[in-house]
Each structure stands twice: as C-alpha cells, then as structure tokens.
Amino acid sequence: MAFTEISRNKAFGGQLVKYKHSSEELQCDMNFNVFLPKEAANGQQVPGIYFLSGLTCTEDNFIQKSGALAEAAKHGIALIAPDTSPRGVSIEGDSDSWDFGTGAGFYVDATEPKWSKNYRMYSYIVKELPSLIHNQLPVDESRISIMGHSMGGHGALTIYIKNPTKFKTVSAFSPISNPINCPWGQKAFSNYLGSDESTWKQYDTLELIKTHLNEKIDVLVDVGTADGFLESQLKVSTLQETVKALGRESEFNIRFQEGYDHSYFFISTFIADHINHHVKALKA
C-alpha cells in the first residue's frame, strides 16, 4: 500500500503532512493528517497518538482547532488524524443526515449488506491505517496510543479496550459512552449492524468494561457540565456509575469540567492534560 502527499506545512519545528491513499477496507480514497515532530526529521522513530474525530468532522478539525500540535511538539510525539467515514462511495441515504453515513462511520465494521462493503472504520483504524503509517513513516508501532472526541471518543475507548496490547493508553473528550442506549448510537448501530442488539455490545464502552475484566486499563475522560448532549447522548454519568460498580475506579479518571460545552474551545482548554496523560504511557 502506498500513499500520496497532498500538502506539507512546517509547524512548531515539525511537519504537518496530509496524505491520500486508496483504502482496501473502505473501498475508496481516504485522506489523513500526520504531524511529525522535529525529532522525526532524520527518520528517528517517535511515539504517536491517533485521534478519532466526531460527527460531521474530517481529518482536519482536530489538527486545525485543538491546539494539539504545540503540545505534541513539546514532547516529540507524532499525531495521526484520520477521517471519520468513507468518502464518495455514493450509497443511497449516506448523506441524508448529519449523524449517520458520511462523516458518521461510528468506528464499527458494518454487517448489513448495504453498508458492509465500505463502512469498515473499525478495521481501517485498527489494521489498515496503522499498517500504512508504521511501515512508511517514522512512527514507532510499539509506542502508540489513541484518543478521540464525541463519536471519536466512543471509537477510541472501544478500540483501546479491545486492543490493550496495541495501544498504551486512551483518553476521550465528551465520549458517547453507552451508544446502545442513546439516539445517535441506536440510529447508527441499527443501520450498520442490524436489528440484533446483542451484536451492538461489542462496540459499547459500558458493555466492554463489564466483559474485559482481566485487562488493566488506563483511561482519562473529560466532559463539560454545560455540554448539551451530556445526558441524552453521552451517558458519561452512567459510565462513571458502572466503573464504580465494577470496582474499576483506579483505572478511570473521569472529570466533569464545570461550565464547558461540546466544542473545540473545550478540547483546546484541556488538550495539554490529555497529551501529558499519553506521554506518561508512551515514554514510560
């Protein structure tokens, strides 16, 4: 697999590069951004953090709005920011609403025939993209972690819990913590995965922490108390209650940030905390 460089900009002593490639998992062309700190200039392997974005986003939102590049540069960390869904696949209904289809892949491998050929974002993030990144760029596959926001927070948490030896740690901003019990998740899962709700649990953080009990995990979650989606969609309070009931408080740092909302103003306020959380694991 090869990729093509679309653009390159110097930032904080490093290089921000946008790439394009033909995805076998998604059966379409995909873009992704990579920030390589100055330490990678001579091919030196550096640690990396994957960031999964939320509904309606592309590979650009996090890179342009979060303030993460400056923090990553301080610590010599690469950032990898993929897109949120297949693009240009022209499936009937994939662009009818902002919370399903294009820009809303939900980081699952669809099983319903209409969507299963292209909507394989779980395998794209866990298998195909890392294979591309770590074979062709100076990002150390043994020192990677994952983070995300909203839908991407859901993706980061579920991917990490299911792949604890691949990713060193995880953090999430405003994650959709219990998608099988919220409107966004129910809409996505019923279409991508079908009517058998038992198959949905493999992509639900609350359900996964009940069954993946032998793996010790390391999770940071931030959510704003003024987030308009807090109770109806994110269910972070339910996550906190479940963590406590399971006796796993030592593995989760769940913080409710007073007065903050769902936006990138919130993310940019706490991005340094999250990068530091990852640095501790990546450079341990």
Q: Report the alpha-carbon distance of residue 40 to residue 42 in Å, rounded.
A: 6
In this structure, are residues 118 and 22 in contact, taking their beta carbons and an 8 Å threshold?
Answer: no
Q: Is 218 a catalytic residue?
A: no
Determine how many CB atoms are found less than 10 A away from the CB of residue 240: 17
CA neighbours closer than 13 Å in the CB half-sphere of residue 75: 23
Determine how many CB atoms are found less than 10 A away from the CB of residue 38: 15
Spell out the residues 6+ positions from residue 227 whose beta carbon is closer than 8 angstroms to its own. 174, 234, 260, 261, 262, 266
Catalytic residue among 66, 150, 171, 174: 150
DSSP bridge partners of 18: 7, 33
- CA distances 133 to 27, 45, 128, 273, Å, are 18, 12, 9, 25
What is the distance of C-alpha 13 from the center of its chain? 25
Place of tokens 């939320």: 54
Q: Is 262 a catalytic residue?
A: yes
Catalytic residue among 262, 274, 277, 278: 262
Q: Report the alpha-carbon distance of residue 169 to residue 47 in Å, rounded.
A: 12
Take residue 135 and report the two structure tokens written for it.
Answer: 């074979």
- Residue 231's SS3 state is helix
Q: Is 149 a catalytic residue?
A: no
CA neighbours closer than 13 Å in the CB half-sphere of residue 183: 6
Q: Report the alpha-carbon distance of residue 284 to residue 103 in Å, rounded.
A: 35
Q: Report the alpha-carbon distance of residue 192 to residue 180 in Å, rounded.
A: 13
Catalytic residue among 222, 227, 274, 277: 227
The residues carrying an active-site annotation are: 150, 227, 262
